[in-house]
Structure 1
Amino acid sequence: MPNYTHDLIVIGAGSGGLGAAGFGGAIGLRVALIDRTEEHFGGDCLNFGCVPSKALLHVAAQFAGARQATQFGLRTEGKADFGRVMDYVHQQQDIIREHETPAYLQKEYGLDCLIGEAMLTGRREVTVGGKKLSAPRIILATGSKPRHLGTPGVEQVKQYDNELVFSELHELPERLLIVGGGPNSCEMAQAFQRLGSQVTLLNRGERLLNQDPPEAAAVLEQHLRDEGVSIRHETEVLRFTDAHTATLVSDGLVDGTISFTHLIVAVGREVRTTSLGLELAGVATKQGKIVVDEYYRTTNPAIYTVGDAYGHEMFSHGAEKHNTDLWTNLLSPVDRKHSLKHFSWVTFTDPEIATFGFTEQQLRERGMAYEKVVQSFDHDDRAVAADYRDGVLILYLSKPRFGSAKLLGGCMAAPGAGEMIQELLLLNMMDAKYSTLTNKIYAYPVGSRINQKPARDRAQQRLLSPLTKRLLRAAYRLQNR
């Protein structure tokens, strides 16, 4: 049996790497966890993504609340002190960082934390800082990096991405141009508009959030426009004429120019594949991604990927899902395939857009029969009281020949939607009947009562059919003579 230095080597100490290494250490394996610098521990989520962006959104929401209160007599003026805003963001990061440092991980999980550039130098070998390590299994949790624009003239412009916003942006942009129409673009657009910037969002597609239902995306878009964000669909930058001016193109035609003080680019992410020694370890790449199978294996069966390195759902909880599957496979003779049957994601704008289970496109691709239910919040009592009657709940229900329908997936657009869909996701995971919610008693008037509304409507339709009503009348009169 080979004389390995470790039981497991994990490269990358972000969400994927921390989960992979932490579990290995928790069960007593000798695990090496490697990242480039101590500051990189915690990965994109802690340093540049989920944590700082949600802290920024939290502060921005307070500004929005104050402005909304002016209709009831509150007086407000001015913009955010951006230095103080960023101080708050960094303070919240530091609280979480305390539990993701090399010293803490070594003490808590017994991990062998190494700092330096890791390179695969063999099929089961990694070299870091001139030191050779080996293990029967290696996990690549090497993450991804933001894509940048290659537009003519872009070399004149400072491109802020989600990383640079939280490390190099030191003043509140006066006129902010954001390129992209996905979750990150929408969150940044709303946050900076609320803090006092004038935001223009350029989207090359026909609508925002193309991975979510159009009905939900439309609700968010209207909110952004109402708050003052200028949104231009099917529009791209043709060229940058100087550091603060861009020529735009729409439908193939030049569509004027736009001036801006700052530029944020949110046009997706790409997997890190360079400087890792992949070819030395027999790990193939294709079209900028690491070649992997449904079991997280690379073309070298001793090396796996999790998190953004896997090249699919690039979320922190995506990495958590990958680790759950992968550790099942590493510990069990029955392998678990990658699946999005019970996955979910949230865009943390106001309103939130929360999607779970299969999307409508995935259902169509799989040829699955389903019923689409669209539930308005227009007459929901909590929505009326809290002024979000424009919310919407979309459900995809199975169409069984016999028995009750089950939840295949869905989406909600509403304040706190990410929390409110959790019971729906649980039904989806448990493969339970959607009608299970029919007799649940919710505290009135919690927002999640909306989840029950379609179930009760369906039950009432069955209950109040002419035949059923006649039977129920007869049963009542028989029991109450």
Structure 2
Amino acid sequence: MNYTHDLIVIGAGSGGLGCAGFGSSIGLNVALIDKTAKAFGGDCLNYGCVPSKAILHVASLFAGGKEAEAFGLKTEGKADFKKVMEYVHSRQEVIRAHETPEYFAKEFGTETIVGTAAMTGRNEVSVNGRKLTAPNIVLATGSVPRKMEVPGIDQVKQWDNESVFWELDELPEHLLVVGGGPISCELSQAFTRLGSKVTLLVRGERLNEKDPEVMGDILARKLEEEGVDIRFNTEIGSFTNATTALLKDGGAAGAGNAGRTLEFTHLLVAIGRKVRTEGLGLEQGGVKVEKGKIVTDDRYRTTNSSVYAIGDAWGGEQFSHGAEFHNTQLWNNLISPIKKKHNLDKFAWVTFTDPEIATFGMTPKRFKEKGIDFETRELSLKDDDRAIAADFRGGHLIVYLSKGWWGGGKVLGGSLAAPAAGEMIQTLHYLQTEGKKYSALTNMIYPYPVASRIVQKGARQGASDMLTSGPVPKILRWAYRLVNR
């Protein structure tokens, strides 16, 4: 069959840009399609990673000023929200310059097309009245925020991480946030620091349930110290008007909020995301959808073996670097006879609050599923010199290690709560990725007192325990005395 292209990619977010960029870089004729020029860059640039980190940066300046009051600085007032958003948008535009259709076409030679694409056959896509064909089609069409569905919700404006960065033009007086994941935590802290009153409703018993429980507890304490009113095991039962919610108990254990009303000025909903499937012509393309998700295997193939789904469209981990990971696996499978299956045992993620919560690798749940025996090294930062000097003694480190006489001591996963934890934990993640032992850090010379020395401290603690217990001290004493007679 004569195709118009070697590859068609629908969606120009993190997944689509990476997929089309690599294909074009090796000389393939690639078409990259998204509905608007602004959509190039995807959720990360427009609604997620970039704007959220920009607003967190501004909020951290406010937090620093407030903390400095203990040492004589005088501060007052709230954020000028329009100026805050001007800063956020300016940072987006700097990055957008390298993610426009024009730039991408010039830089990589990709045919970039602005228009609404839909599959019209197993290997065919229609856009702007054109019929495009290719042996493979990649769906990188992303996801959309889930909407709250409770009685009375039609009376209330639902803000989410998409609309809040482009439509909100005032600092909320009382922001009601619903959800207990990273987006909820990051925006709750940001708006509190900017001057809003924030109430956070969490259906379950803790924050960030994919991280170790101690990390959620540390983050909850910090948010509460800064003024966030967190209510666990609590849901919204209904809305009585545009600014009043009737609460009900949620989670495994009720929190005693049933029947209470809560007044607010703005509602921010962060209860997850759903895969975008409508309007893509998936049925015509032989791509099956079940329970709101595109049906795929662990090699990203849909029910049409010529069509793949990556990024949020795949329906798994919803991170920009998740889409990057999918691309590395997908391209291996497209050009190599040795196929790779999706596996998150060496994945990592960060919640960019203060403190940051960084988690990588395997978890106790995963160890149990795979029948892996492991040991845990756990350290509080309360006695760490840098943590004492910079006042982040509430931090915590967890490292999971393999057990066994021959292969024991290898880093398998872990988590860290600390300022810049996402940067600090990368050394440990590297050890896990390369299959190396934690003890490899014992001889590194960390400049004193860099914060990342804490990741070495656990390794040295293990080495110290080994050298000062059992028969080893006796052997070392004998060796010393023999050499120094």
TM range, smaller chain: over 0.9
What is the aligned partner in structure 2 of residue 352 from structure 1?
356
Aligned counterparts, 1:279-290, within 5 A: 279-290=283-294
Q: What is the CA deviation profile of residues 425-467 of structure 1, one whole-angstrom value per residue up to 9, with x for unaligned ones? A: 0000001111111111111111111111121111111111252
Tell me the equivalent position of 1:390. Answer: 394
Where has structure 1 moved over 3 Å in runs of 4 or more?
Answer: none
Aligned-residue sequence identity (percent) comes to: 61
- Offset at residue 372 of structure 1 (A): 2.0
Query: Secondary structure at the residue paired with 2:246?
Result: strand
Partner in structure 2 of residue 266 of structure 1: 270
Give the Cα separation in 2 of the matches to 1:297 and 1:466.
54
User: In the alignment, what sits opposite 2:435?
Assistant: 431
8 Å Cα contact 2:34/2:115 also seen in 1: yes
Residue type of the alignment partner of 2:228: V
Does 2:275 align with 1:276?
no
* Counterpart residue identity of residue 148, structure 2: L
Partners of 2:470 and 2:126 in 1: how far apart?
76
Structure 2 CA distance, aligned partners of 1:308 and 1:208?
22
Answer yes or no: is 1:39 the counterpart of 2:38: yes
Partners in 1 of 2:86 and 2:64 — Cα distance?
Answer: 21
Return the alpha-carbon distance in structure 1 between the equivalents of residues 305 and 389 of structure 2: 57
Partner of 2:233: 234
Match 2:473 to one of 448, 454, 469: 469
Q: Which structure 1 segments of 5+ residues have no match?
A: none
Equivalent position of 1:334 in the other structure: 338
Q: Deviations over 1:252-309 (max 9, x none)?
A: 8724101001010000000011111111111111111000001110011100011000
After TM superposition, the structure 1 stretch with the greater mean CA deviation from structure 2, 243-252 or 135-144, is 243-252
Tell me the amino acid that sits aligned with residue 441 of structure 2: L
| Map of 2:23 onto structure 1 | 24
Partners of 1:404 and 1:434 within 8 A in 2: no
| Equivalence for 1:103 | 102
Q: Distance in 2 between matches of 1:475 and 1:405?
A: 26
Change (3 A) 1:463 1:292: same
The residue that corresponds to 1:480 in the other structure is 484
| Residue of 402, 406, 411 corresponding to 2:410 | 406
Moved more, 397-406 or 150-159: 397-406
* Residue aligning to 1:447: 451
TM-score (normalizing by structure 2): 0.98
Cα distance change on mapping 1:366 and 1:467 into 2, 3 Å: closer
* Contact 2:401–2:408 (Cα < 8 Å) also in 1: no
Q: Say whether the 8 Å CA contact 1:342–1:356 is kept in structure 2.
A: yes
| 2-structure distance, mates of 1:415, 1:241 | 41
Aligned to 2:58: 59
| Paired AA for residue 307 in structure 2 | I
Of 318, 324, 327, which aligns to 2:322?
A: 318
2:9 is aligned to 10
Closer/same/farther in 2, CA of residues 434 and 124 from structure 1, 3 Å limit: same
Q: Which amino acid aligns with 1:469?
A: P
1:364 corresponds in structure 2 to 368
Native 8 Å contact 1:60 1:192 kept in 2: yes
The amino acid that maps onto 1:317 is H
* Partner Cα separation in structure 2 for residue 316 and residue 306 of structure 1: 11
1:416 aligns with 420
Distance change in 2, residues 1:253/1:95 (3 Å): closer
Whole-angstrom CA distance in 1 between matches of 2:210 and 2:152: 31
**Corresponding position of 2:306:** 302
The Cα RMSD (Å) is 1.0
- In structure 2, the residue matched to 1:117 is 116
Structure-2 residue corresponding to 1:198:
197
Matching residue's letter, 1:216:
M
Tell whether the 8 Å contact from 1:12 to 1:140 is kept in structure 2 after alignment: yes
Aligned letter for 1:402?
W
Q: In structure 1, the residue corresponding to 2:412 is in which secondary structure?
A: strand
> How do 1:139-150 and structure 2 match up within 5 A?
139-150=138-149
- Contact 2:177–2:200 (CA<8 Å) still a contact in 1? yes
Cα distance between partner residues in 2 of 1:285 and 1:407 = 38
2:87 maps to amino acid: Y
Tell me if 1:254 matches 2:253. no
Note if contact 2:234-2:257 (Cα within 8 Å) is conserved in structure 1: no
Q: TM-score if structure 1 supplies the norm length?
A: 0.98
Q: How much does 1:3 deviate?
A: 0.8
Query: Which SS does the other structure have where 2:258 is aligned?
Result: strand
The 2-side partners of 1:173 and 1:364 are apart by: 44
Q: What is the DSSP-based 3-state SS (H/G/I as helix, E as strand, rest coil) of the residue aligned with 1:373?
A: strand
Q: Distance in 1 between matches of 2:320 and 2:473?
A: 51
Aligned partners of 1:255, 1:69: CA distance in 2, in Å?
Answer: 41
Deviation track 1:346-369 (CA, whole Å, cap 9, x = no partner) reads 000000000000122222222221
Q: Deviations over 1:47-82 (max 9, x none)?
A: 011000000000000000000000000000000000
Counterpart CA distance in 1 for 2:203 and 2:244 is 18
How far apart, in 2, do the equivalents of 1:300 and 1:237 lie?
A: 41
Amino acid at match of 1:423: T
Number of aligned residues:
480
Distance 2:137 2:464 in 1: 55
Partner residue of 1:48? 47
Q: Structure 1 residue 403: deviation in Å?
A: 4.3
> What is the CA distance between 1:333 and its match in structure 2?
0.7
Alignment of 1:164-203 (within 5 A): 164-203=163-202
Contact 1:404 1:435 in 2 (8 A): no
395-404 or 348-357: bigger deviation: 395-404
Q: What secondary structure, in the 3-state scheme, does the structure 2 residue paired with 1:389 have?
A: coil
Deviates more, 1:63-72 or 1:364-373: 364-373
The CA distance in 1 between the partners of 2:424 and 2:242, in whole Å, is: 44
Measured at CA, do residues 194 and 7 of structure 1 come closer, stay the same or move farther in structure 2, by a change above 3 Å? Answer: same
